[in-house]
Chain A
Amino acid sequence: MALRISFHRRFVTATVFFLFCVFVLPAIAGAIWLKVFTSAVIFALAARGASLVYAQLGLVNLAQIALVGVGGWVMLRLNYATTLPFELSLLASAAITAIVGMLLSLPAMRMRGLYLALVTLMAAGAFQILFTAFQFPNGGSGFLGVAMQSPGEMRRPFLARSDAAYLSYCVAVTALCMVLVFLHERGKAGRGWALIRQSEANAMAAGVDVTLFKVWAFTLSGFLAGTAGALLAGALRLLDSKSFPAGESILLFALAIVGGAGHWAGAVIAGILYRVVPAVLNDFGLDADLALILFGAALLHAIITAPQGIAGQILSASAFRRSAT
């Protein structure tokens, strides 16, 4: 009964937060903050992908930003090559990036910990080189779609042409993806991941297909990154190779840990830290790189005192307050 009440309370909280972000936030935010919040929402989705693999399997994927780039690349290519509606291009971008994420999971079959992290980081570096060498489509012809010209027009969804509407749209898509992850965590995949996290040998003994479930997690993570990349292409209307350096994946992963890897709110906090904090510093006339110092301190704090991240601390405090009353 207590569990059901707790779930009900969390559902209501999540719904209220969602409605606030869809309807209130776009209405009250200034033009620059619409852009900043849109970026934060998009990278919250990407952070959820990174934290999913870490929280469920204990594996570190440092190629998430590169996968965001892949999603963005596919989105731009489909935008210029076809007349598909935004939603279909979005789904296709997410699906193709999910396949790339699945391929990235192959090393995970044999590696864990530091070695897997390094391999995914190397993969991110390889994508960085590919993005630089081949660039992002800008309306040119051929498979790569790059012409030595100004970029063409990147379409936005029919109902979300303005920045405010696009923020609402990104929030809605992100919420849907969060629900998708939640359903996975609560379903067969979540049970399989939980067994693997505790002991791969025991999971196998219990009849869990370890390979399948690992691939599943990476594919879902890639799907989220691809969706984020496609939304980012719609937000900025163009992408460039400098925006997806390998090192950014480390930062995003660290912020996912700081936010709290096991909860959707942790990803939201990661998105806020990743994009809103530097913008606030900029707005105060301070160097946005100061945020890196704050992030370092926050990571130390998370490692030493808050393994569940800021989201975990908020949830614990909330539970403590309820039990006290």
Chain B
Amino acid sequence: MKLYQMSAIAASGWLYLGLTAGAMAAEPVCGLNNAEKASGEPILVGGINGNAPPGDFSGGTDAAAAYFACVNDNGGINGRPIEYLVENDQWNPELASQVATKLVKDHGVVALVGNGSVVSMAVNARLYVEENVMVMASACAISDCYENSNIVSTNQGPLPSGIGAMKYAIEELGTEHVACIGFNIPNNGGWACDWVAKYMESKGKKSSALLMDPASVDLNSVYLQALAEGVDSILLMLPAGPALGILQVAEEQDGRDTFKWISPTPLYDPSIPGTLGDYWDGHVFVNIELAPFDSSGNDNGNWVAVMDLYGQKGDRRDTFSQSGFLSAKFFVETLLTMDPDKIKRDSVTAAIKGISGLKSDLLCGPYYVGDFDRHMPNHAGRMVVYKGGRFEVVRACYDIESSYLDAIRQQERALNLID
């Protein structure tokens, strides 16, 4: 892609956001909201993102940083400011291990918030349990993130979002055979596509997993593979960049009508409409894990306001950003219920595990943590279609059916969140 095209896309993304923000311009509401700067002893909180090719998952920590800055300007945690330490694991397992150890052991953070990474959760899952530190993540994409007692993510991840997209595709688009295109990482693309295959089988449909090397993404060959498989739909189980790349390959081959195009949430990004253009109008369906960017709920409006006032110029404003904002908000609300002098790691971990039944217009269901061996509070989403240069909701909140959620539903019953 030419530089001027990318600039135009970025500009249109900002314009879109500007219009969105303009529609809901408001003062941010953060923490105690008393307009007094916090000046007590800082509370150390960590965050790890993975920002390097082939994907940028920094939206969660960006938004959490903005929200914490806003909280610090509004009384902090009963007078104590939050010092937020963010590290980038660069998709490198060794570095992921080092930065997590640095935050958890050397800095002694009370919790990690806004995390988003493909490698960090797998490498550090054991560390978090051993050190009894909770991670309120925001951009999880691997199984380890959802199968650990000390990690809870506000985003759904590829499994529910991918199955959610497939549910819509089967019911509304008539999908019979889907190609699930993902990264060849067993606990990421392999895991998610495997569960999509089980879901498709349960519905009497077919699926084929096309997993590619994240280190050398060959989009043309994977597109040709999909053609050779004879599928009628393509599920883009990928970060936004590679997913967009496959759509561009398809456009060059004029392959729009050869398949139905569906995707989990990463493709729901403000810069995408400017990139897709008229060719894809009405043909790209995306399952979104949180509320639409232009929705009118209080939390969504507050996310926009916080990012406008406290966000940095280069911050991403995608679903993971919303998710990071929400993780940070729930974290702050939890800390505000505690005695500020007794905010230590163990007490914070216990308080986070005590979270149950929190609500937000950004989510379709209640948010909870609980003292369980796994967590996936967010598994219901919405479906949007790219139309008229923007994303349009085509199905409101709906949940998925998958045996993967059996343990999760038991948790929800135990917490009296469902019957």
Are A149's CB and B187's CB within 8 A? Answer: yes
Residue of B142, B143, B187, B193 ringed by the most chain A CB atoms within 10 A: B187
What is the minimal beta-carbon distance from B150 to any residue of chain A, in angstroms? Answer: 13
* A149 x B98 contact (CB < 8 A): no
Shortest CB distance A90–B (Å): 19
Residue pair B147, A150 in contact (C-beta under 8 Å):
yes
Task: Count how many chain A residues have C-beta atoms less than 8 Å from C-beta atoms of the other chain.
Answer: 34
Query: What range describes how many residues of B lie at the interface?
Result: 35 or more
The 0/1 profile, CB within 8 Å of A marked 1, for residues 181-215 of chain B is 00011110011011000000000000000000111
**For the complex, what is the distance from the CA of A36 to the CA of B98, rounded to whole Å?**
7
Whether B98 lies near A35 (C-beta < 8 A) is: yes
Give the docked Cα–Cα distance between A282 and B99 (Å): 10
Residues of B with C-beta under 8 A to A241: 184, 213, 215
Contact indicator A135/B186 (Cβ below 8 Å): yes
B186:A148 contact, CB within 8 angstroms = yes
Question: In the docked arrangement, what's the CA distance between A30 and B104, Å?
Answer: 11
**Please, how many angstroms separate the alpha-carbon atoms of A150 and B190 in the complex?**
11
Residue of A163, A275, A282, A288 near B101 (CB, 8 A) is: A163
The complex places the Cα of A241 from the Cα of B216 at a distance, in Å, of: 11
Within 8 A of B (CB), among A13-44: 30-32, 34-36, 39
Could you tell me if B119 and A240 are in contact, using CB atoms closer than 8 angstroms?
Answer: yes
Interface 9-residue window, one of A106-114, A181-189, A231-239: A231-239
Given contacts A36-B98, A135-B184, A243-B93, contact A238 B106 (CB under 8 A): no
Please state if A236 and B123 are interface contacts (CB–CB under 8 Å): yes
Q: Which of B97, B142, B213 contacts A132 (CB 8 A)?
A: B213
Q: Is the CB of A149 within 8 A of B122?
A: no
- A282 partner residues in chain B, CB cutoff 8 A: 95, 98-99
Asked if A32 and B213 make an inter-chain contact with CB atoms under 8 angstroms apart, the answer reads no
Alpha-carbon separation in the docked complex, A128 to B125 (Å): 26
Residue pair A242, B94 in contact (C-beta under 8 Å): no
Q: Does B105 contact A (CB under 8 A)?
A: yes
B101 touches A239 (CB 8 A): no
Contact A31 B184 (CB under 8 A): no
Among A30, A237, A240, A275, contact of B106 (Cβ-Cβ < 8 Å): A30
- A151 CB-CB contact with B under 8 Å: yes
**Is B102 an interface residue, CB under 8 A from the partner?**
yes
Question: Does B67 sit at the interface, judged by CB under 8 A?
Answer: no
Q: Assess whether A238 is in contact with B190, with CB atoms less than 8 Å apart.
A: no
A: residues with CB less than 8 A from B are: 30-32, 34-36, 39, 128, 132-133, 135, 138, 140, 146-151, 153, 163, 236-243, 245, 275, 279, 282, 288
- CB neighbours of A237 from chain B (8 A): 123, 126
Pick the contact of B122 from A34, A133, A140, A238 — CB < 8 Å?
Answer: A238
Task: Please give the distance in Å from A278's CB to the nearest CB on chain B.
Answer: 8
Q: List 28 A-B contacts (CB under 8 A).
A: A30-B106, A31-B101, A31-B106, A32-B99, A32-B106, A34-B101, A36-B98, A132-B213, A132-B215, A135-B184, A138-B187, A147-B186, A148-B191, A148-B194, A149-B191, A150-B125, A150-B142, A150-B144, A163-B101, A240-B93, A240-B119, A241-B184, A242-B214, A242-B215, A243-B94, A245-B215, A282-B95, A288-B95
- Most interface-central of B92, B99, B102 (chain A CB within 10 A): B102
Q: Contact check, A31 vs B105: say whether CB atoms are below 8 A apart.
A: yes
Q: State whether A236 touches B97 (Cβ < 8 A).
A: yes
Residues of A within 8 A of B92 (CB): 242-243
Q: In the complex where A32-B101, A237-B123, A242-B215 touch, is A149 in contact with B94 (Cβ < 8 A)?
A: no
Q: A31-B106, A146-B186 are in contact. Are A239 and B98 (CB under 8 A)?
A: no
Chain A residues whose CB sits within 8 angstroms of the CB of B84 once the complex forms = none
| Residue of B with least CB distance to A139 | B186
Give B147's nearest chain A residue, CB to CB.
Answer: A150
State in angstroms the CA–CA spacing of A122 and B90 once bound together: 26
Instruction: Report the separation of the CA atoms of residues A50 and B302 in the bound assembly, to the nearest whole angstrom.
Output: 57
B184: chain A residues at CB < 8 Å are 132-133, 135, 241
B101 contacts across to A, CB distance below 8 A: 31-32, 34-35, 163
Which of chain B's residues have a CB closer than 8 A to the CB of A148?
143, 186-187, 190-191, 193-194
The 6 closest A-B pairs by CB, nearest first: A31-B105, A32-B102, A148-B194, A148-B190, A150-B144, A132-B213
B89 to chain A, nearest CB (A): 10
Q: How far is the CA of A239 from the CA of B105 in the complex (A)?
A: 22
Q: What residues on B are CB-neighbors of A32 within 8 Å?
A: 98-99, 101-102, 105-106
Complex contacts, B102 vs chain A, CB 8 Å: 30-32
In the bound assembly, the distance between CA atoms of A128 and B215 in angstroms comes to: 10
Q: Is B325 an interface residue (CB 8 A)?
A: no
CB-defined contacts of A240 to chain B, threshold 8 Å: 93, 119, 185
- B368 at interface by CB-CB < 8 Å: no
Q: Which of B110-160 contact A (CB under 8 A)?
A: 119, 122-123, 125-126, 142-144, 147-148
Q: Is B91 an interface residue (CB 8 A)?
A: yes
B contact residues around A133 at 8 Å (CB): 184
Smallest CB–CB gap between B337 and chain A, Å? 30
Residues of A within 8 A of B190 (CB): 146, 148
Q: Quick one: which of B94, B142, B187, B215 has the most chain A CB within 10 A?
A: B94
Instruction: Determine if A236 and B94 form an interchain contact, defined as CB atoms under 8 angstroms apart.
Output: yes
Alpha-carbon gap, A39 to B148, bound state (A): 26
A149 CB contacts on chain B under 8 angstroms: 143, 186-187, 191
Instruction: Give A135 to B191 CA distance when docked, in angstroms.
Output: 13
